Structure 1
Amino acid sequence: MILITDRFDKLIDAIFKITGEVHEKHNHDRIKSAFTELKELSVPVVPIASGIAVLPVIGSIDNERAKMIMQVSLNEAIRLKLKYFILDLSGVTIIDSIVANSLFQIIKTLKLLGVEIIITGIRPSIAQTITHIGLDFNITKISKSLENALSDLGFKQVSSG
C-alpha cells in the first residue's frame, strides 16, 4: 500500500508540474502577444487620402519604439502605396540623439522607396537635439503643423455654413 501511495503521489506531482508549466507558457504567450499589439497600436499610421498618410507620434520615443516606427512606416508605405508620409511629432516632448538619428534613418529609407516625408510639430527641444547632433534634415520637408502640411498638399478647410 505504501509503494502504491508513493507511486501515486509521484504521478500526481508530475501531472501538476506539467499542468503548471503549460499554464505558465500559455500566460507568457498571451502577455507577449498583448505587449506586441500594444506596441503596434503606439504607431498608428492613418491614411488621409490616396497616397497620403500621417503618423501621429505621441509620448516618448525610445530605441525600441523607434525601431517599431521604422518597421510599421516601411510596411504601411508599401501597403498603402504612399507618395506622401507625414510624421507628426507634436505629441513628442523630447528625444535623445540616438532616437533623432533613428528618425533620420526612417526618413532616408522611406525616401529611397520614393515616399516624400513631411515632418510636422517639431518642438524647440527636439529642434535643439537635431541641431546639436548635426543631422541634415534638408532632405525632407518640414512644416509647422499638420494643418499646414495638409494645406501644402492641397487640402482645404470647408466651412460648414
Structure 2
Amino acid sequence: MNSTAFTYKKFTNFDEAADSILRMMSKMLKINTLFIAKNDQKTNEIVKVVNKEVLLKEGDKLPFEETFCKLSVDHGKNVLFIPDITKSDLTNALNVTRNLGSGSFVGLPIFYEDGRNYGTICGLDTEQFNLTEEHVELFETMSSLLSYCLELDDANRQIQTLSAPLVPITKGVAILPIIGNINEFRLEAIIELALTKSGTLSLDYLIIDLSGILQINDMVSSSLLKIVSMLRLIGVTPILTGIRPDLAIKTINMNSDLSSVQTQATLESALKSIGFRLSRE
C-alpha cells in the first residue's frame, strides 16, 4: 500500500502564515496575482504577494484612496468581486485601472478582533476570471484565519514582554528577569528590549536573572553571550544571576565560554557587588 508523506510546517508569526496562505490559494485559483495589503487609511502597502506573472511587488505603495483595496474595505465584511474593472463604476475612473488596462478584482478586508481594519486579502488579474461560491468561501475562510493570526501575533508579543520585563532599580541599574524557554523569536525581542532600554535609561549595569529559564541549550548559551557582548559594546556592564546547578552543568557540558562574564548567585549578591546594601528599617 502506497503512502504519502506530508511535511508539517510550524508558523512563528503572521508573515509566515500569510505567505503560506497565498501560495496555497495560488495553486487552487486561476488568478494571476494574490496579495495581502496593509493600510493606515492613508497609504496602502503590499506586504505579501504571489504572482504567476509579475503585476505587483512586496513593498509597492499607493495612496489608499486610489486603490481597489479601499473599495474592498468600504464594501464591509463581504467579498467584493468586480468581474470587469473597466466597466464598473467603482473602478473605471481609477488610475490603477488605466494602468492595468483590463481584468478582474476580488478583495476582502482583514480585521483585528476589536473591529479595526488591518488591510485586505485580494486577487487581481489583467484577464477576467470567474468566482464561484467555493472561491468566495475560500477568501472568507482565509480572511478569518489571517485575523486569528494577527491576534496570536499580538498576544505573543505581549507574552514576550511579560516574560522578559526590564525593571529599573535605581539610576543606572536595572534588572532583566528571563522566564520560560528562549527561541529565536524571543531572543530577538529580548536583545531589542535590552539594548533599547539600556540606552533610554542610561544604564551602567544590567542584571540578567536566569533563575526562571526552564532549559538551557547551545542556542541559549550563545544567546547569552550575544546579549552580553552587545551590552558591553554600548557601555553597559552585564551581570548574570540565578544560574541554577543544573543549568551550570549543562553550560559546562556544552563548552560554553561564560568565564569572561560577571556572574553572581543571587540578585542580592549582584547588587552588593556594585555597591548596594540591602537593610531593613
Structure 1 residues 15, 105: CA separation in 2 closer, same or farther (over 3 Å shift)? closer
- Counterparts of 1:87-102 in structure 2 under 5 Å? 87-102=208-223
CA distance in structure 2 between the partners assigned to 1:124 and 1:97 by the alignment: 17
Structure 2 residue aligned with 1:26, among 108, 112, 120?
112
- Which residue does the alignment assign to 1:72? 193
Give the number of the structure whose alpha-carbon radius of gyration is greater. Answer: 2
Quick check: 1:60 aligned with 2:181?
yes
Structure 1 residues 125, 63: CA separation in 2 closer, same or farther (over 3 Å shift)? farther
Quick check: 1:104 aligned with 2:166?
no
CA distance in structure 1 between the partners assigned to 2:279 and 2:220 by the alignment: 37
Aligned residues: 146
CA distance in structure 2 between the partners assigned to 1:87 and 1:15 by the alignment: 47
CA distance in structure 1 between the partners assigned to 2:267 and 2:191 by the alignment: 20
- Which residue does the alignment assign to 2:169? 48
- Which residue does the alignment assign to 1:126? 247
CA distance in structure 2 between the partners assigned to 1:124 and 1:158 by the alignment: 28
CA distance in structure 1 between the partners assigned to 2:251 and 2:153 by the alignment: 34
Q: CA deviation at 1:159?
A: 2.0
**Is residue 163–residue 180 contact of structure 2 (8 Å, CA) maintained in 1?**
no
Q: CA deviation at 1:15?
A: 6.7
CA distance in structure 2 between the partners assigned to 1:131 and 1:31 by the alignment: 36
- Which residue does the alignment assign to 2:27? none
CA distance in structure 2 between the partners assigned to 1:159 and 1:102 by the alignment: 37
**Is residue 166–residue 175 contact of structure 2 (8 Å, CA) maintained in 1?**
yes
Identity, % of aligned pairs? 34
Q: CA deviation at 1:64?
A: 1.9
Q: Which has the higher contact order (CA 8 A, sep 6+)?
A: 1
Does the residue aligned with 1:47 lie in a helix, a strand or coil? strand
**Is residue 63–residue 99 contact of structure 1 (8 Å, CA) maintained in 2?**
no
CA distance in structure 2 between the partners assigned to 1:59 and 1:25 by the alignment: 31
**Is residue 93–residue 125 contact of structure 1 (8 Å, CA) maintained in 2?**
no
Using the size of structure 1 for normalisation, the TM-score is 0.80
- Which residue does the alignment assign to 1:17? 79
Unaligned ranges ≥5, structure 2: 1-75, 81-106, 114-146
Structure 1 residues 147, 17: CA separation in 2 closer, same or farther (over 3 Å shift)? same
CA distance in structure 2 between the partners assigned to 1:155 and 1:52 by the alignment: 11
Structure 1 residues 140, 31: CA separation in 2 closer, same or farther (over 3 Å shift)? same
Say what the alpha-carbon RMSD is for the aligned residues: 2.3
Q: CA deviation at 1:82?
A: 0.8
Quick check: 1:158 aligned with 2:276?
no
More strand by share: 2
Does the residue aligned with 1:138 lie in a helix, a strand or coil? coil
Does the residue aligned with 2:243 lie in a helix, a strand or coil? coil
Q: CA deviation at 1:125?
A: 2.2
CA distance in structure 2 between the partners assigned to 1:157 and 1:127 by the alignment: 27
Using the size of structure 2 for normalisation, the TM-score is 0.48
